[in-house]
Amino acid sequence: MNNIFDSHAHYDDERFSPDRDELLKRVFESGVIGIINCGSDLKSSITSLNLAQRYENIYAAAGIHPHEAESAGKNDLLLIADLLDSKKCVAVGEIGLDYHYDFSPRDIQKQIFEEQLKIAKEKDLPVIIHDREAHEDTMELLKKYQPKGVVHCFSGSAEMAKEVVKLGMYIGLGGAVTFKNAKKPVSVAAVVPEDKLLIETDCPYMTPVPHRGERNDSSLIPFTAEVIACVRGITAQEVLDITAKNAKELFGI
């Protein structure tokens, strides 16, 4: 398969340190045409941009993940805003709310999320949203700020997916659709309009079946595409073609 666009990856993760360059070479030889590498704090946003500057087909997102909201300072947001002015930085992300782990207090998560939604508006950039068990507050803020962007690794219901799409936003689906207990993501895969669907790895995490338990990378996306294709009654290559076109459109590539 070809024309694979991975809309959400973390190749800056230390799990890639032993073989990052060889792996990326293999990934680009396996039909991958584009990767968005997402930051989760200032340091990883800088590393993402460095990767994007070294690899023609890697693009960066810069942002502060809800887990890191408490440890981020005002200065970090200013520096992230600077990174966003770089040509290879195409989105604000990943940003959002995580009430599953609650690694940062919720009021601070919300504050940092809102500030980054404002930055995205100012810079006219799409956002990459992380929402884990925080659907209600996430939707409230998305309705308030109406950003362009994607809710990645979408874990809400089919009903919520429709609401997100109504706001003009995209839905990102990854390895979770291949998991045995994947009722919700599969029901979402069935209802997202063709022009609002993105595919992603979230690598090194969320490895699709039958490689679950191993380190994930973009060359495994066809396993995810197969499941989405089956649900939608089209071919996996069609899923890849559609999602590559959508990613290029959203991220202005």
Contact region with Ni ion (CB under 5 A), list: 70-78, 132-140, 196-204, 214-222:
196-204
Measured from the CB of residue 233, what is the shortest distance to Ni ion in angstroms? 29
Q: Which is nearer to Ni ion, 202 or 217 (CB)?
A: 202
Q: Which is nearer to Ni ion, 216 or 246 (CB)?
A: 216
Q: Which is nearer to Ni ion, 98 or 202 (CB)?
A: 202
Question: Which residues inside 137-166 make contact with Ni ion, applying CB under 5 A?
Answer: none
Please give the structure tokens belonging to residue 76. Answer: 């970090």
6 binds Ni ion (CB under 5 A): no
Q: Which is nearer to Ni ion, 80 or 229 (CB)?
A: 80
Contact 166, 159 (CB under 8 A): no
202 binds Ni ion (CB under 5 A): yes
41 binds Ni ion (CB under 5 A): no
- The radius of gyration of the chain from alpha carbons, rounded to an integer in Å, stands at 17
98 binds Ni ion (CB under 5 A): no
241 binds Ni ion (CB under 5 A): no
- Burial environment of residue 130 by CB neighbours within 10 A (0 to 12, 13 to 18, 19 or more): buried
Please give the structure tokens belonging to residue 28. Answer: 């680009």
Q: Which is nearer to Ni ion, 68 or 202 (CB)?
A: 202
Contact 93, 127 (CB under 8 A): yes
Contact 49, 83 (CB under 8 A): yes
217 binds Ni ion (CB under 5 A): no
Round to whole Å and give the CA distance between 227 and 105: 36
Round to whole Å and give the CA distance between 147 and 127: 7
Round to whole Å and give the CA distance between 168 and 180: 30
Where do contacts with Ni ion occur on this chain (CB under 5 A)? 202
